[in-house]
Amino acid sequence: MSEEALVYVERNELRELFKTKLVNAGLPNYLADKTADLMIFADERGIHSHGSVRTQYYAERIAKKGLNLDPQFNFEQTGPSTGTYFGDNTVGHYVAYEAMEKAITLAEDSGIGMVGVKEIGHSGAIGYFAEQAAKRGMVALTVCQSDPMVVPFGGTEPYFGTNPIAFAAPRENGEPILFDMATTVQAWGKILDARSKNKSIPDTWAVDKNGEPTTDPFEVGALLPVAGPKGYGLMMMIDILSGSLLGLPFGKHVTSMYEDLSEYRRLGQFHIVINPAFFGDKDQFLKQVSEMVEELHAIKPAKGFDQVYYPGEIQEEVKAQYKESGIPVAQSIYDYLQSDDIY
């Protein structure tokens, strides 16, 4: 299959195109602004599965009222270090950000902040929220459920979602360490990105409707868990933390992302924030994380590698590269962004 041409777009222009499209679809300005922040966060780091490729989906769901455009938020602190944030089924990007702010405040006061995020739509690249805390000197872990599109290890029918997990930690000098992964071999957005560029995929990513490996992104019926039973176990853990623990739908009962775009999704997310100052010398902690990075960089690279990177470092290099070249966007998506079309 022949690959689609790419357009290279300056960061601020692309972010404004995202926001304008979402506002034109009906999303209030303050919600569109935070959603555009997360979309550009992903695209400018080369995480194209959660950037421009999602725009038309978001716009269509907004236009079809599958997201609440007049949400009423509520945060309930349930203990010295715990709380729940009710998102009223609007865009998850804004709600998860606000909930992380609450978790950070709890951690500042009591050493730990744990906030369950209830009833939201898709929240984008969740590494954004972990980094949000790390930039405030905190260690953070965030997990989020998604709808069933992954066959469990040993099975043939989808049950869990891609259920991502993100971890971030600050260090003495430089950007935080940021680890963000789906519990599948690749996120569903990688399939969408391959479709948008008309590119084939490795046969280890997904299976077709018959459960057979496929390299055609248009034939994907379900994704595969990363590392077999290990990824399967992680996605179950994440579903329990961000679904059942919060009294939300779980596993195969989670509302589909694509079947009915007029239906609320009721997704859950879970933030855990740790204040290093409550567990030891914070300055020493930051210094040790920086020393760890230096020692990793000093390791002799394996054949075919230039160096050992810390988690998130390659994305920072991509960000610097795109600052010079512009962010690559499929021509068809760029044309859509510039058009008056919603879907």
pLDDT tens-place string over residues 312-343: 999 999 999 999 999 999 999 999 999 999 99
CATH number, domain with residue 38: 1.10.1530.10
289 in helix, strand or coil? helix
pLDDT at 113 over 90: yes
Same domain? For 159 and 305 the reply is no
pLDDT at 61 over 70: yes
> Helix H segments across the chain?
11-25, 29-43, 55-63, 92-110, 127-134, 188-196, 229-242, 282-298, 313-325, 331-338
Q: Is residue 112 in some structural domain? A: yes
- The closest of 94, 90, 117, 96 to 37, measured between CA atoms, is 94
CA–CA separation, 309 vs 235, rounded Å? 26
What is the model's pLDDT at position 1?
62
Q: Is residue 218 in some structural domain? A: no
In degrees, rounded to 5, the angle at the alpha carbon of residue 142 between the alpha carbons of residues 247 and 269 is 25
Same domain? For 171 and 252 the reply is yes
Q: Is residue 191 in some structural domain? A: no
- The closest of 146, 138, 69, 45 to 100, measured between CA atoms, is 138
Same domain? For 264 and 289 the reply is no
- What's the pTM value of the predicted model, to 2 decimals? 0.94
Q: How many domains does the chain have?
A: 3
Number of H helices, E strands in the chain: 10, 11
Same domain? For 273 and 289 the reply is no
Same domain? For 77 and 150 the reply is yes
Q: Is 98 exposed, middle or buried (0-12, 13-18, 19+ CB in 10 A)?
A: middle
pLDDT at 155 over 80: yes
pLDDT at 22 over 90: yes
Residues spanned by the domain of 15: 1-63+313-343
pLDDT at 2 over 80: no
Q: Which of 48, 50, 93, 122 is catalytic?
A: 122
pLDDT at 112 over 80: yes
Q: Is residue 189 in some structural domain? A: no
Q: Which residues contact 298 (CB under 8 A, 6 or more apart)?
A: none
Same domain? For 170 and 307 the reply is no
- How confident is residue 30, by pLDDT bands cut at 50, 70 and 90? very high
CA–CA separation, 161 vs 253, rounded Å? 11
Q: Tell me whether residue 122 is one of the annotated catalytic residues.
A: yes
CA–CA separation, 102 vs 87, rounded Å? 13
Same domain? For 305 and 162 the reply is no
The C-alpha torsion from 234 through 237 and 239 to 241, rounded to 10°, is: -140
Same domain? For 297 and 177 the reply is no
pLDDT in tens, 160-183: 999 999 999 999 989 999 999 999
What is the model's pLDDT at position 4?
82
What is the model's pLDDT at position 188?
82
CA–CA separation, 38 vs 127, rounded Å? 10
Q: Is residue 156 in some structural domain? A: yes
What is the model's pLDDT at position 143?
98
Same domain? For 307 and 317 the reply is no
**Number of neighbours of residue 275 by Cβ within 10 angstroms:** 22
pLDDT in tens, 255-314: 999 999 999 999 999 999 999 999 999 999 999 999 999 999 999 999 999 999 999 999
Same domain? For 32 and 153 the reply is no
Same domain? For 146 and 29 the reply is no
Q: Is residue 97 in some structural domain? A: yes
Q: Is residue 266 in some structural domain? A: yes
Same domain? For 166 and 273 the reply is yes
Check: CB of residue 48 under 8 Å from CB of residue 104.
Answer: no
Q: Is residue 174 in some structural domain? A: yes
